């Protein structure tokens, strides 16, 4: 299975074919996205969560996503360090993934690995990722339950609200809750939620935790399980599944379009000529794009990309 995960991640045709064959088996796992700004303590928190989950005898898989260097293409995948205690435990599977500079494609690749873990029977799948906007919300849409981990002093609460992460959060965690500012952060978040985010009429819990000692982690697990139950009771799960399917299909489509641009039209003499004209102020960028859109999608075929 780890080899299959590699083939899926590398978009190897054999891996993707296998994934297609396994796809009907998916849809059973509870997928939990754990996101939040760097420095909030997500890795340590996930490691603590693992301890509690295993303590209850439940099987779990973790997908830890880290950013790739845009310059070298390499990555340091260091989330696993804190989870090494579970090495002998067959009920835990931990896999690290680099973002590889894919934009839409990251969600595609992550979704692929999630489906694989789901199909082989892990009932709970945690995706740990840095949420700094685009990637955070992309991956959030793949999850049934989104946990946003904040910490006091990482920039004020306004930053968190602006970044849009709170809008997708089903459970909010204030980690490092033993530090000054934690209570204020909690108050601020609670107030902003009450005002602005009805979230389908559900009360969004804010859970204080101290991941280094484990305080609050059992409450977090309970909140995650509660959300799972809520999804079932209110039939919201099918909406989440649609949201996830939409995210995955659109992400795959964008990645395919990117590839098309890179290969054919992206290198064509026509494109180079148009770009030259824009640089010389001979043609406006908008007209250049229109000309290209027409080339990709000739008129008379209904909706075109340029519309």
Residues within the interface to another protein (CB under 8 A): 2-7, 9-16, 18, 68-69, 71-78, 80-81, 84, 87-88, 93-96, 98, 100, 259, 262-263
Smallest distance from another protein to CB 30, Å:
21
Smallest distance from another protein to CB 137, Å:
24
Torsions phi, psi for 98 (to 5 deg): -100, 150
Which uninterrupted H or E stretch holds 63? strand 60-66
Nearer to another protein, 239 or 253 (CB): 253
The DSSP code for 200 is: G
Nearer to another protein, 110 or 186 (CB): 110
3-state secondary structure of 7: helix
Tokens 């899926």, located at residue? 8
Smallest distance from another protein to CB 301, Å:
17
Nearer to another protein, 75 or 250 (CB): 75
CB atoms within 10 A of CB 215: 14
Spatial separation of the C-alpha atoms in residues 246 and 304, rounded to whole Å: 20
Smallest distance from another protein to CB 71, Å:
8
CB atoms within 10 A of CB 66: 18
Nearer to another protein, 5 or 146 (CB): 5
Smallest distance from another protein to CB 189, Å:
33
Tokens 């990482």, located at residue? 154
Nearer to another protein, 14 or 284 (CB): 14
CB atoms within 10 A of CB 201: 6
């Amino acid at each position: 299975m780890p080899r299959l995960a590699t083939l899926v991640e590398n978009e190897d045709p054999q891996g993707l074919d296998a994934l297609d064959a396994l796809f009907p088996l998916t849809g059973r796992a509870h997928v939990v996205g754990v996101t939040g700004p760097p420095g909030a303590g997500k890795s340590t928190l996930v490691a603590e969560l693992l301890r509690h989950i295993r303590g209850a005898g439940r099987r779990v898989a973790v997908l830890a996503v880290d950013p790739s260097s845009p310059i070298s293409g390499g990555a340091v995948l260091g989330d696993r360090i804190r989870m090494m205690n579970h090495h002998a435990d067959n009920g835990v599977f931990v896999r690290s993934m680099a973002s590889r500079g894919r934009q839409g494609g990251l969600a595609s690749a992550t979704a692929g690995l999630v489906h694989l873990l789901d199909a082989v029977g892990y009932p709970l799948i945690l995706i740990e990722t840095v949420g700094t906007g685009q990637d955070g919300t992309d991956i959030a849409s793949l999850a049934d339950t989104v946990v946003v981990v904040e910490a006091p002093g990482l920039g004020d609460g306004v930053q968190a609200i602006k970044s849009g992460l709170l809008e997708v959060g089903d459970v909010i965690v204030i980690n490092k809750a033993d530090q000054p500012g934690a209570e204020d952060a909690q108050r601020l978040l609670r107030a902003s939620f009450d005002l602005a985010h009805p979230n389908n009429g559900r009360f969004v819990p804010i859970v204080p935790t101290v991941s280094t000692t484990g305080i609050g982690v059992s409450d977090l697990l309970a909140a995650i399980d509660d959300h799972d139950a809520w999804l079932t009771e209110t039939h919201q799960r099918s909406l989440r599944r649609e949201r996830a399917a939409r995210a995955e299909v659109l992400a795959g489509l964008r990645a395919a379009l990117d590839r098309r641009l890179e290969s054919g039209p992206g290198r064509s003499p026509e494109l180079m000529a148009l770009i030259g004209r824009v640089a010389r102020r001979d043609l406006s960028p908008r007209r250049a794009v229109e000309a290209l859109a027409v080339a990709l999608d000739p008129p008379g075929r209904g909706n075109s990309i340029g519309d």
